Amino acid sequence: MFLGDLTTGLLLGLSSGVYCLGSCTLVMVPHLASDPGWGFAAGLRKMVEFSAGRLATYFVAGVLVFWVGPTVLSSRGARVLIGAAIVALAVLVLLQGVVRSFPAVPCCARPGETAWLRKYPFLAGMFSAAQLCPPLLLCLTQAASAEGLVRAIASTSGFFLGTAAVSLPLAVACAGAKWPGVRATAAVASLFCGLWFAAVGAAMIVA
């Protein structure tokens, strides 16, 4: 049943709360805490954009596994694609960190002027959703065996709602941007988080 698939996906999303919160914190909190001009409303909007990016990836993943089956998740090609998505996330986080850490250096400030980097929350949401935690794998397996595409989409949509309920409160991180020390720490954190994601993605590609 549609409602049953939606509920199961929702519960799986909520069960991934600790993992999802940790992943979202690494990506979004340094971004939200780096600009004193953002208030809670702006932070909430950015978290909604971030969640929309995650939903886009979940939607595509749900449709793909419905058509090709769960075996694709364990294939070498899938691991390379996931690793590439995480490396792309690393580049995004690193560029944000460079722009925030060295605004007086022309070559560092220039990336922040590009249109695609200003779409950071949505893009970050898309790439971060590629990190397949166990609850998401279960959700995609359920989508692969669903009796109909609508039910497969219901599973992944429910998962998205569960993870969004966990991640949206991160918008309060904007409050910390009032203090210069917090902003500086957030900028440096972006650099280190970007390097960490780069290492994780590269390991998946070469493994």
Domain count along the chain = 1
User: Left, alpha or beta for 70 (phi > 0: left; psi -120 to 50: alpha)?
Assistant: alpha
Which token pair is 153? Answer: 């989409």
Q: In terms of pTM, does the model score above 0.85?
A: no
Distance of alpha carbon 80 from alpha carbon 95, whole angstroms: 22
pLDDT, tens digit, 9 for 90 and up, residues 152-166: 778 888 888 888 888
Cα–Cα–Cα angle for 40, 97, 111, rounded to 5 degrees: 100
Q: Which domain holds residue 6?
A: 2-206
pLDDT, tens digit, 9 for 90 and up, residues 91-148: 999 988 888 777 767 776 777 677 777 788 999 999 888 877 767 777 777 777 767 7
